[in-house]
Amino acid sequence: MMIELPALRIEEKFHGNNIVHLIDNKLILESYTVSRSRSQVNIEANGLTYIIIKNKDITPDGDYILLSKRLPSQEDINNNILHIKQWIKHPKLSSYLPQDIVNNWNGCFNFKEEDLAENIRGLRKPQIGAIHKILGHFTNADDIGTIVLPTGTGKTETMLSVLIANKCSKLLITVPSDSLRTQLANKFISLGLLKQNGNVSNDTINPIVGILNKKFSDANHLNSFFQKCNVIVSTMDIVSGSFHEEKIVMSDLCSHLFIDEAHHSKATEWNKLISYFDKNKVIQFTATPFRNDGKILDGKIIYNFSLKDAQDQGYFKEIDFLPIREYDRTLADIKIADKAVEKLRADIANGYNHILMARCLNHKRAERVFSIYSQFPDLEPVLIHSKIPNLNVVREDIVNKKHRIIVCVDMLGEGFDLPELKIAAFHDIRKSLPITLQFAGRFTRTSRDSNLGNASFIANLVQDGINDELSLLYSKDSNWNTILPSLSLQATQQQVDLQTFLHGFSDLEESKIPFQNISPPFSTVVYKKESNTWFPNNFEAGISNYDQYDHKFFSLNRENKTLVILLGSRHNVNWGTFSDIYNIEWDIFIIHWDTVQNLLFIHSSEKNGNYEKLASAVTDNDATLLSGINVFRVFYEVKRLMLYNVGLRRGQGKDISFQSYYGGNIRASLSSADINSNIKNNIFGVGHRDGEKISIGCSRKGRIWSYLRGNMQELTVWFKDIGKKLIDESIDPNEVLKGTLEPKKISTRPLFFPYYVDWAPLMYKEIESRFEFQISGDKFDLANCELALVNPTDNGELKFSLSTENSDILFKINLTDEDFAIEKLSNVLCRVTYGNKTIDATEFFHQFPPRIGFVNNSILDGDEYIEFNEDILRFPKENISTISWDGVDLNRESIGFHPRVLTSIQYAFVTYLKNDNNKFDIIYNDDNKGEIADIVAIKNNINEIEVDLYHLKFAINGVVSNDINNLYQVCGQTQKSLNWYFRENKELINHLLKRELKKQSVGQTRLEKGDINELENILNIVKNHKPIKFRIFIVQPGFSKQHVSNSILDLLAVTANHLKIMANIDLKVISSE
């Protein structure tokens, strides 16, 4: 039988902290003989005698003596139960000094490389690369070094190798959590895999490791603790939170500082610590070179092993993405759990020793999800979070693989080395790229000693509030194995570009403000230069009262032609008079010369905006301010521009500014009179350019600004983009704006016929599920309810209904001299929840007043009335198309679902669309409450996705006539549908998917052509920013093209004008012949 003798290990408690020295590993004896006497047991193996005694006062002769609680019997020995308390004597048992251990490391390390094909253990390629870079960095370091190694590629063995190879005399390591401190300390205590892999000799003495669990109250105690150790491991919280005197001791004693999982370090904590250490002895280790708190990771990236490299070289398992789509959160949890457990059982059946982890947002969610997994007791599900009892016991059981299912709240991110974690069930996803990358790495790591398959990620495709880059991951058939490395490479390159930019500046350590943390709002004035030189060192002559500033710092990046000036002024506090208490107000100037376009950009936090003197100083009077009408060229190619501030200057010099409304298109809504009489003074708006949302503003005086914020390198890129447009003579600045519109407060309703009512424009900025209407116990979001006018007239009460598939709730708008009020006419309880608020429907509609459109081309928002005083030409009769409606019941509009009405207008038109098999990929019946249109038809073309919205309406009394009532409602629906043009394109497809899934749940479908997989594919394509081209149709067989009246043509003209102005869409009309 096998006998296990304990490791030779010296441990010391020191003021609540631990010091551990592992002198020799535990010993396994497989072949041995046993003899005994009354006072001892002798075990002979491999020519050595190991003596076990129970009385330490009686020590026999021998080199290997162990103290036991009692002498083991033969049965104890057979069962490997020896009751050993400690080693009494051992040839290696000695009190080692830290420096003696460092001396022992001389020549111990070698770069033996792993070769899996030959079954040779050793260091991996990324580890060897990182070690060489660190050792080289230490020879001439001038900054903090950053090592980027994806999770699972071996950061710990890299740190251990550097410790020995560089003979670091005293190494301090900070980690982000208690659990990771324990894990990392244990690795350093034993030197991890270095001896096993043959990268250090077996004679190499392990370091003495101090585990700093709590702060010292006395700097002398801390000094003594550090003096005893080769390596000290602690958390960033403890080290950064230590007293000033203690940090000085740490810095003086430690030859090197390693920051592990540096992306977790909060900027404030990091800065508290790093300022005490020489930067040339600090190395950061991270899986991603950007912090979780969004701040820039300081230092210089000296080695970057990308996620793609890790995949290509086999250090990561592939990821199988197994999605579900469910809009109901409770059902989504059940479906995710079922699919995850199904995958776990399949993996186990295939011989893989996999573990499933279900990730939840918080404790409450975790407990709810755990109740689902509790239905699978054979898989031993366990719940772990910070508030559960016996947390350490649960952690130990997880490490010992006693549970196949773990439900947690971010508890397994660090501190758990479990390669068997291979199935991730995302009940709540991570919404930032850095954390997603780290999280994925926990599941894709490989292990040469375990039988492991690919990683599997299960998640709901319905995800709100994630950015475009992450939304690509949560798409049907998305390939995480290609998308995740691409996102990581892009984000890492951004950090590399910034660090390269910052390293072009000099003397940054003297700046009171870290350059990497400067994140200004983007703004500039621009000057045109003629010569090809500049004189940045002359800037002092261009800043008034420069010598009077209390704090002055500047630095020049000569390669990137960027000058940064920081100026600080002391100001007395306004609550007293003190000599040593004051405020410091800082200003920044960023001056950049774009040599390609020969433009000088000046950004400053100063409010006066007059930089002529500064521009002249740094260019030797060779600077001409770009101002006037041409500044408005910055709006070139901005699509879907929403103007929020428009300043016009009249000829008499009076300035007038108006605020626009979400969903309006001011640029195309102003009258000719305004264009001729007003001078554009300043404009600010939000729109899209090249698939990205942008904000841009400018003034006639030359200032240009944006809502954007970014680092200084990103600012200079923005400068260049702005400059290209300013000097492009092909851009006509007069196309930027064509007028303004003016809302008026009214107390009586407009005496025009209202023909549509729509949600408040601000509601369209949110996803449909943001607003939930609770009516008689049922819940509806915007996808399943709508607003409709009730008995509209040109002078009666303004009534509207909130309509769902189950009920109609009536409301009335009352206008007064002071305000407007919403009155509920139906005796039905209706409440609305949005965000964290739940309020009565009347209060909700007062906060978000419905928009009512009138036939005179005007709108009413609450009590604000806007008339679009535009010259509208009658809709051309020749632009109306016709088809045959033979055999169609013109009184029946909808196909329905069960049963289907085969004589309806909608059925006839769907058949018409189907006749050309290649015309559309998808034909979708969106009829009913909450519709975008009656029919939505989609075609995925080479360069764009074509989306046709068809609005159908039955004929009054089922006959063709010139009754204008045939057109009111369908024209209103047409104008309402334009809101989808301004929403995120993916929201339109999500709307269709959501409504189709609801129909499928009752055994029906909205898809007249195509299937849900094709719809999912369209969503994936849209997420990749393929543009959508909208076409909008009115289909009304209730009037005749040949005999159409002027009143109908005029109403069509109002709708056509609205579409053209708002979105440059030409209205299509289909009628009877």
Beta strands in 153-230 (DSSP E): 171-175, 209-211
**CATH number of 319-494: 3.40.50.2000, 3.40.50.300, 1.10.10.10, 3.40.50.10420?**
3.40.50.300
Banded pLDDT at 1004 (limits 50, 70, 90):
very high
pLDDT at residue 415 tops 60: no
Q: Are 641 and 687 in contact (CB under 8 A)?
A: yes
The answer regarding whether domain 877-1072 maps to CATH 3.40.91 reads yes
**359 by DSSP, 3-state: which?**
strand
Which residues lie across from 40 on neighbouring strands?
53
Structure confidence by residue, pLDDT tens digits, 584-639: 889 999 999 999 999 999 999 886 667 999 999 999 999 999 998 899 999 887 76
Radius of gyration of the chain (CA): 37
Can you tell me the distance from the alpha carbon of 903 to that of 346, in angstroms, rounded to the nearest whole number? 51
Cα diameter, the chain: 123
Instruction: Give the bridge partners for 12, in sequence order.
Output: 19
Residue (of 125, 469, 138, 134) closest to 309 by Cα position: 125
The crossing angle, in degrees rounded to 10, of helices 363-373 and 329-349 is 50
The identity of residue 985, as a single letter, is N
State the pLDDT at residue 743: 64
Which of residues 103 and 271 earns the better pLDDT score?
103
Q: Which of 339-343, 385-389, 855-859 has the lowest mean pLDDT?
A: 385-389
Question: Does the pLDDT at position 648 exceed 70?
Answer: no
- Is the confidence at residue 691, as pLDDT, over 50? no
At 449, is the pLDDT very low, low, confident or very high (cuts 50, 70, 90)?
Answer: low
Q: Which residue has the tokens 């950053």?
A: 146
How far is residue 862's CA from residue 847's CA, in Å, rounded to a whole number?
Answer: 9
480 and 322 in contact (C-beta within 8 Å)?
A: no
| Range 493-502 contact pairs with CB under 8 angstroms and sequence separation of 24 or more | 495/289, 495/290, 495/296, 495/297, 495/301, 496/289, 496/301, 496/304, 497/713, 498/296, 498/711, 498/713, 498/714, 499/299, 499/300, 499/301, 501/557, 501/560, 501/562, 501/712, 501/713, 501/716, 502/712, 502/713
Q: What are phi and psi of 347, to 5 degrees?
A: -65, -45
Which string of DSSP letters, residue by residue, matches 824-870? E-S---EEEEETTEEEEHHHHHHHSPPEEEETTTEEEETTEEEE---
| Closest C-alpha among 795, 713, 783, 788 to residue 752 | 795
pLDDT band at residue 315, thresholds of 50, 70 and 90? confident
Give the span between the Cα atoms of 894 and 896, in whole angstroms: 5
Over residues 478-489, the mean pLDDT reads 66
Type of residue at 98 = P
Q: Which residue has the tokens 């810095």?
A: 251
User: For residue 110, what are the CA distances in angstroms to 113, 123, 165, 536?
Assistant: 9, 10, 8, 51
Tell me the C-alpha distance between 669 and 1041, whole Å.
30
Among the residue ranges 68-72, 181-185, 445-449, 992-996, the one predicted with the least confidence is 445-449
Query: What pLDDT is stored for residue 649 in this prediction?
Result: 56
Count Cα neighbours of 721 within 13 Å in the Cβ-side half-sphere: 19
What's the confidence (pLDDT) of residue 544?
Answer: 87
Q: DSSP assignment, residue 516?
A: G
Q: What is the pLDDT of residue 907?
A: 95
Cis peptide before 899 (omega within 30 of 0): yes
CB 646 within 8 A of CB 700: no
Enclosing H/E stretch for 439: helix 433-444
**Residue 914 near residue 1009, CB atoms below 8 Å:** yes
Q: Which residues contact 278 (CB under 8 A, 6 or more apart)?
A: 251
- Bigger pLDDT: 841 or 710? 841
CA distances from 765 to 663, 665, 1022 (A): 9, 15, 18
| Interval 397-405 mean pLDDT | 88
The half-sphere exposure of 23 on its side-chain side, counting CA atoms within 13 A, is: 16
pLDDT-based confidence at 434, cuts 50/70/90? low
Q: What is the mean pLDDT of residues 541-552?
A: 90
Residue-averaged pLDDT of the chain = 86
pLDDT, mean of residues 929-950: 92
pLDDT digits (tens, 9 = 90+) for 698-739: 888 899 999 888 889 989 999 999 999 999 999 888 765 543
What pLDDT is recorded for position 280?
Answer: 87
- Structure confidence at residue 689 (pLDDT): 66
Q: Which of 184, 61, 24, 199 is nearest to 120 (CA)?
A: 199
CA gap 471, 330 in Å, rounded: 22
| Residue located via tokens 């509806």 | 780
Report the SS3 class of residue 254.
coil
Least trusted range by pLDDT, from 101-115, 462-476, 818-832, 1028-1042: 462-476
Q: Which amino acid is at 750?
A: P
Triad 687, 688, 689: Cα angle to 5°: 130
Residues 6+ apart with CB under 8 A from 833: 771, 772, 774
pTM passes above 0.85: no
> How high is the pLDDT of residue 670?
43
Q: Percentage of residues in the chain with pLDDT exceeding 70? A: 88
- CATH for 98-305 is 3.40.50.300
- Distance between CA 260 and CA 187 in Å, rounded? 13
> What percent of the chain is predicted at pLDDT more than 90?
51
pLDDT of 210 above 90: yes
CATH 3.40.50.300 placement within the chain: 98-305, 319-494
Nearest Cα to Cα of residue 995 among 1006, 981, 985, 984: 1006
In angstroms, rounded to a whole number, what is the distance separating the alpha carbons of residues 611 and 617? Answer: 10
Q: Is 559 exposed, middle or buried (0-12, 13-18, 19+ CB in 10 A)?
A: exposed
DSSP letter string over 957-1001?
GGS----THHHHHHHHHHHHHTHHHHS-HHHHHHHHHHHHHHHHT
Report pLDDT digits (tens) over 1028-1066. 899 999 999 999 999 999 999 999 999 998 888 777 789
DSSP 128-145: HHHHHHHHHHHHH--S-E
| CA-wise closest residue to 384 among 354, 353, 416, 352 | 416
Residue 918 pLDDT > 90, yes or no? Answer: no
The confidence score (pLDDT) of residue 328 equals 78
Q: Is the pLDDT of residue 871 over 90?
A: no
Decide if 204 contacts 230 (C-beta within 8 A): no
pLDDT recorded at residue 665: 39
In the chain, CATH 3.40.91 sits at 877-1072
Choose the most confident range, by mean pLDDT, from 251-260, 327-336, 406-415, 492-501: 251-260
User: What is the rounded average pLDDT of the residues 313-329?
Assistant: 82
Q: Kindly state the average pLDDT of the residues 393-411.
A: 85
Helix (H, G, I), strand (E, B) or coil at 882: strand
Amino acid of residue 1037: P
Give the residue among 769, 774, 683 at the shortest CA–CA distance from 734: 683
Question: Picking from 435-444, 724-733, 876-885, which range would have the lowest pLDDT averaged per residue?
Answer: 435-444
- Tens-place pLDDT, residues 855-870: 988 899 999 888 876 7
* Residue 489 pLDDT: 64
| 151-180 confidence digits (pLDDT tens) | 778 899 999 999 999 999 999 999 988 888
